[in-house]
């Protein structure tokens, strides 16, 4: 593990997640072929994984944006594919896109029964404790950020990935410090959430580069370090 704490201004890429259309790649998923890596989808997961790889290796990620075909570009694209964790990771994004924001409660024999947990509960009660364990060990955590409610697999590219490197709590108010490749080397990027009522739709405040889209929930992404070479 690197000697100093991760900070976007020191350990993030010096350029943002903006790549030419011709850089698109195609992932084969249970829902068919999905194009990522274009202007719409970006290479956010690859940049997150690659930045974390460099930090763990104690190496600077470099200042110049690589051109298509250069070793660093190919590395970021390879790590993008890793970040999708096909097929399980893609299936998780799709499942979360299809879930309600709050718990789905039904009446059964006169009793209120939870038929389906919503994204609020899954984020606050299941995912956040897992993320916190890594943060307590000073290990940044890649997370998948779900931004759309849809059953259309073509909307998978509207979701996002960022790297959580710190957190602070004020009662039930939780603030996550994140490296967002869409924002570059900014240290002020964050996600805020009130954890007090996770069974209801949870409001996530943020300043991520999502083009105005809201956050519906987030989950810990499976990550295995690689040597950036």
Range picked from 26-35, 63-72, 213-222 for highest mean pLDDT: 213-222
pLDDT digits (tens, 9 = 90+) for 45-78: 999 999 999 999 999 998 999 988 899 998 998 9
For the chain, what is the mean pLDDT?
Answer: 90
Distance between CA 105 and CA 108 in Å, rounded? 10
| Alpha-carbon gap, residue 106 to 112, rounded angstroms | 6
Taking CB atoms within 8 Å and a gap of at least 24, the contacts of 156-160 are: 156/29, 156/31, 156/34, 156/90, 156/93, 156/94, 156/97, 157/34, 157/35, 157/36, 157/40, 157/41, 158/40, 158/213, 159/93, 159/97, 160/44, 160/208, 160/210
Q: What's the average model confidence in pLDDT over 175-187?
A: 97
Check residue 111 and give its pLDDT. 76
Report the distance separating Cα 19 and Cα 197, nearest Å: 39
Q: What is the pLDDT of residue 33?
A: 67
13 pLDDT above the threshold of 60: yes
Residue, of 75 and 2, whose pLDDT is higher: 75
């Amino acid at each position: 593990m690197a000697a100093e704490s991760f900070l976007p201004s020191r350990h993030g890429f010096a350029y943002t997640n903006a790549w030419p259309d011709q850089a698109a790649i195609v992932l084969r998923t249970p829902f068919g072929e999905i194009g990522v890596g274009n202007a719409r989808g970006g290479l956010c997961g690859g940049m997150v994984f690659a930045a974390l790889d460099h930090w763990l290796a104690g190496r600077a990620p470099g200042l110049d944006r690589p051109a298509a075909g250069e070793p660093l570009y190919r590395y970021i694209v390879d790590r993008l594919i890793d970040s999708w964790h096909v097929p399980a990771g893609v299936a998780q994004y799709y499942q979360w896109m299809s879930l309600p924001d709050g718990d789905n409660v039904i009446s059964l024999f006169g009793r209120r029964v939870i038929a389906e947990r919503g994204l609020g509960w899954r984020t606050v009660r299941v995912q956040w404790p897992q993320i916190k364990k890594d943060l307590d060990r000073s290990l940044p955590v890649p997370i998948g950020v779900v931004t759309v409610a849809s059953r259309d697999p073509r909307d998978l590219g509207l979701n996002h990935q960022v790297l959580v490197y710190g957190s602070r709590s004020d009662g039930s108010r939780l603030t996550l410090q994140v490296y967002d490749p869409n924002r570059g080397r900014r240290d002020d990027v964050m996600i805020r959430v009130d954890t007090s009522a996770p069974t209801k739709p949870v409001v996530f405040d943020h300043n991520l580069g999502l083009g105005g889209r809201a956050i519906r929930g987030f989950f810990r992404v499976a990550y295995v370090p690689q040597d950036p070479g």
